[in-house]
Structure 1
Amino acid sequence: MTLSADLWDRSLWYATAKEPDPGSDAPEDAQVLVIGGGFTGLSTALHLAERGVAVTLIEAEKIGFGASGRNGGQVIPGLKIDPAEMRARWGAEAGGRLVEFAGGAADRVFDLIERHGIACAATRQGWIQGAHSAKALRAVHGRAREWEREGAPVEIYDADAMAEATGTRIYHGGWRDLRAGLVNPLSYARGLARAARAAGVRIVTGARAMAVLREGAGWRVDLGGSSLRGQTVVMATNAYNDRLMPRMARSILPVQSSIVATEPLPEAVAATILPQGACCSETRKLAFYYRLTQDRRLVIGGRGATGPVYSTGLQDALEQGMRRLFPQIADARVDMAWSGHLALTMDHLPHIHEPEPGLWAVAAYNGRGVAMATAMGAALADRLAEGTPLPLPETPIRPIGWHALRGPVMDIGVRYYWMKDRLGFAS
């Protein structure tokens, strides 16, 4: 039996990261204690330290060990809802601020990469969303036109243009968002850690937080034999949070996303796949997402198992899907396969909580974590340091009633979404 966690050092990103692992500092009390060494925690810590706030970041494993170091490396702006819905939910003023924040999330990533010289193979040639049906195409083109009205640089594709842009003819059309791009996500996370340390953050790895306890006007984090104290604690553990805040853990759905990477493809074959250098994902609920790397590997991801055990059956299905999409790769060998847990919410939005004064928690980017977690960490730093309103309102923690049965329930959901996908509905 192979656990998803065991595949940490088998990913393409681990093998090719240019930024070195930052190692660990000695633990030290601080004004703010950040738990979690992924994009949210690193961005929060970095932006707080740049404002002169003393921060210690605590990570149970290595920097980027969770979804931040294992995802597809697609830097996509926006949320899973469109600008018109943001304004409808939160009003013209607050909704407009959220549109601006979400639309600028990828800018935040690439600005940090440039400012701190992060060696993460960053490129910015856009993200393509492919419509798997005529129904989905109407929704996709509507989304593209909404963002175009907001000033985003977009291209709208019919079926022929989509085939030319992707190298596969399975889509009815789509759109390209030129704000998006690609990174080696593990190298990006390590680069954020390097920048945070240079700004004064203490980076403590291999230290598992066992409990977060109120102590006077502040907080104490129990590390199992030692403790750290701070005025504020930020829980940035995302899908890895069943021990510290069980109620919050029951409010999100952790799922695996599986990824495979081929051997380097021949130049002539690679030139037929995403020739513009963009990344791509689909409108299906059970969608594939894919990209080429700078050394011409095809990297494709999709749904993994709902529990901790890695599914070789789902890996096989992913490989079969890859070859259906791109028959031109023929029998190209799969060199690497891995997975990681990401967090979903029922409303498809990130959740921000302050269950007690000075205790914050942020989780669940629903597949948009590279850009959104970075931006959300910066926004939370603004809130803590300067009182700036958050782009999304804080909400009460609302556990999912059927969370204990999430395995069988989500399996039923998968069958339901397979049916919707076959009928052509958009996500």
Structure 2
Amino acid sequence: MTPSQFSCPVWRRPDRERIVVAPVRSREVVDLVIVGAGFQGLSTALAAARNGLVVRVVEARDIGEGASGLNGGQVIPGLKYDPEWLIARFGEEKGERLIDFASRTADAVFDLIEGEGLDVEYLRNGWIQAAHTHTAMDNAEERTTQWSARGADVTLLNASDIALMTGAHGYLGGWLDRRAGVINPLAFVCELARLAIAAGARIATNETVTDLRQESGAWTVLLSGGHSISARAVLVATNAYSGRLVPGLAQSIVPLHSFQIATAPLSEAQQEIILPHGQAVSDSRRILVYYRKSPDGRLVLGGRGRMSEPQGEEDWDHLRRAMLRIFPDLAGIPVERRWFGRVAVTPDHLPHVHEPEKGLLMVAGCQGRGVGLMTAMGPHLATYIETGDRAVLPLPVSAIHPIPLHSLRQIGVAAAIAWYRLLDSLEK
């Protein structure tokens, strides 16, 4: 079996008309070129086109074949860090602004789905961060306290609460963030593309950007098909799929593979016990697993996989073992789907906004919150591209800092994942 046979997620594509793509046929002149048609690129394209900009999107694959269509569809607000840490890092004014933005990222997704009537299955019943140790439980209590003080709809869960809400084994408690939820990510990215096209953006798929050149105050975007585009601004929305287009960008992040499995549909009795109210769950282990139910009643479970592309079904065996640790009663249920995508992690676990040259913009690093984060960033990026006012960006613009010995860093990450997985297995 080849790796391409393991890119068949359980998610349904929308039942609307096909997305009408517009290949680049000659030299075009536009206001904005967006490289990458994922959540970040399409959300920005939609906002920019509605603001009156002439927008061209160039995607190297088909819509939904990158991380946006291959992820778990968990819509989680906030960032990896809690409010008080962000204020200590960024200061009172910038920290509060970032906290306010981060607290509303899930709203951006669900408001768009509901307001536009998108053909996207979704459920906004919250996200549970499950604690498997007393230290993790203390962290959950502190996180609940900090967000509760800011008016967020969050609740601390004890062992009985989390057992009833998840049907899972091995947790001491956790916390529930009711602002969160789940969506069909493939349907959402396809519907974002449809909205952007309806707003006037043009999207070319299966076309690779080979070079970016700044000439006479404008950017020339060269394409693999031999054509080119001239633009005032370029947004490189490639995140973990960044190559050599922007010097140092790919070396400033660590790309990791997120593997996922989906079981056969659960029985009615299993549905009543496992996630009966449809929340998403992430656990507190060093190498965490995350899980939810799909719209057709399957258990979908994901986590870190091997650094290289998978070669066979056995590369997902660690996820099945994790599933049986959490839900031992599922021993007899078959795994029917396996797939993987790529995610970007930054050294400080924060999203980074870069503008290495005027008119060349990018955001990288989601740390598991890409659905909400990148959807919410789009309108801010569009406004900044239009006005040039950095005050509209919720995150500061920073220089690109390549990770020293980046190629060796990936070997180290693989070793660290194996070590952390061993430590996790020893914890009860």
Counterpart-to-counterpart distance in 1, 2:36 and 2:216: 24
Deviations 1:97-156 (A, max 9, x none): 100000000000111111222111011000000011001110011111111111110121
SS of 1:42's equivalent? helix
Which residue, 5, 9, 32 being the options, matches 1:11? 9
1:297 partner amino acid:
R
Counterpart-to-counterpart distance in 2, 1:217 and 1:160: 62
> In the alignment, is the contact (CA less than 8 A) between 1:262 and 1:334 conserved in 2?
yes
The Cα shift of 1:318 comes to 0.5
What's 2:411 paired with? 408
Change (3 A) 1:328 1:98: same
SS of 1:53's equivalent? coil
> In the alignment, is the contact (CA less than 8 A) between 1:128 and 1:279 conserved in 2?
yes
Deviations 1:338-378 (A, max 9, x none): 00111111100111100000001111101111001111222
SS of 1:336's equivalent? strand
The Cα shift of 1:270 comes to 1.3
SS of 1:222's equivalent? strand
> In the alignment, is the contact (CA less than 8 A) between 2:49 and 2:196 conserved in 1?
yes
The Cα shift of 1:416 comes to 4.0
The Cα shift of 1:285 comes to 2.2
Change (3 A) 1:213 1:200: same
Correspondence list, 1:101-250, <5 A = 101-224=101-224, 225-250=226-251
Counterpart-to-counterpart distance in 2, 1:191 and 1:261: 23
TM norm structure 1: 0.95
> In the alignment, is the contact (CA less than 8 A) between 2:169 and 2:327 conserved in 1?
no
Correspondence list, 1:40-119, <5 A = 40-119=40-119
The Cα shift of 1:38 comes to 0.3
Counterpart-to-counterpart distance in 2, 1:45 and 1:169: 44
> In the alignment, is the contact (CA less than 8 A) between 1:167 and 1:326 conserved in 2?
yes
Counterpart-to-counterpart distance in 1, 2:107 and 2:242: 29
Deviations 1:273-319 (A, max 9, x none): 11121110011120110001232100000111212345643401101
Counterpart-to-counterpart distance in 2, 1:20 and 1:319: 36
Change (3 A) 1:19 1:369: farther
What's 2:401 paired with? 398
Q: CA RMSD in A?
A: 1.7
What's 2:288 paired with? 287
Deviates most, 301-310 or 77-86: 301-310
2:279 partner amino acid:
A
What's 1:24 paired with? 21
Deviations 1:218-269 (A, max 9, x none): 1011102111110000000111111312411000011110000111111111
> In the alignment, is the contact (CA less than 8 A) between 2:39 and 2:68 conserved in 1?
yes
SS of 1:396's equivalent? coil
Correspondence list, 1:326-337, <5 A = 326-337=327-338
> In the alignment, is the contact (CA less than 8 A) between 2:359 and 2:385 conserved in 1?
no
Counterpart-to-counterpart distance in 2, 1:325 and 1:252: 31
> In the alignment, is the contact (CA less than 8 A) between 2:306 and 2:414 conserved in 1?
no
> In the alignment, is the contact (CA less than 8 A) between 2:36 and 2:58 conserved in 1?
yes
Counterpart-to-counterpart distance in 1, 2:310 and 2:301: 20
Which structure 1 residue ranges, 5 or more long, are not aligned?
A: none
SS of 1:250's equivalent? helix
After TM superposition, the runs of 4+ consecutive aligned structure 1 residues lying more than 4 A away are: 422-425
Deviates most, 24-33 or 200-209: 24-33
> In the alignment, is the contact (CA less than 8 A) between 2:140 and 2:156 conserved in 1?
no
Counterpart-to-counterpart distance in 2, 1:37 and 1:202: 11
Counterpart-to-counterpart distance in 2, 1:400 and 1:154: 36
Counterpart-to-counterpart distance in 2, 1:79 and 1:21: 35
SS of 2:240's equivalent? coil
Counterpart-to-counterpart distance in 1, 2:67 and 2:267: 30
Q: Percent identity?
A: 43
Counterpart-to-counterpart distance in 1, 2:18 and 2:351: 28
> In the alignment, is the contact (CA less than 8 A) between 2:118 and 2:191 conserved in 1?
yes
Deviates most, 147-156 or 414-423: 414-423
> In the alignment, is the contact (CA less than 8 A) between 2:258 and 2:302 conserved in 1?
yes
Change (3 A) 1:114 1:278: same
SS of 2:248's equivalent? helix
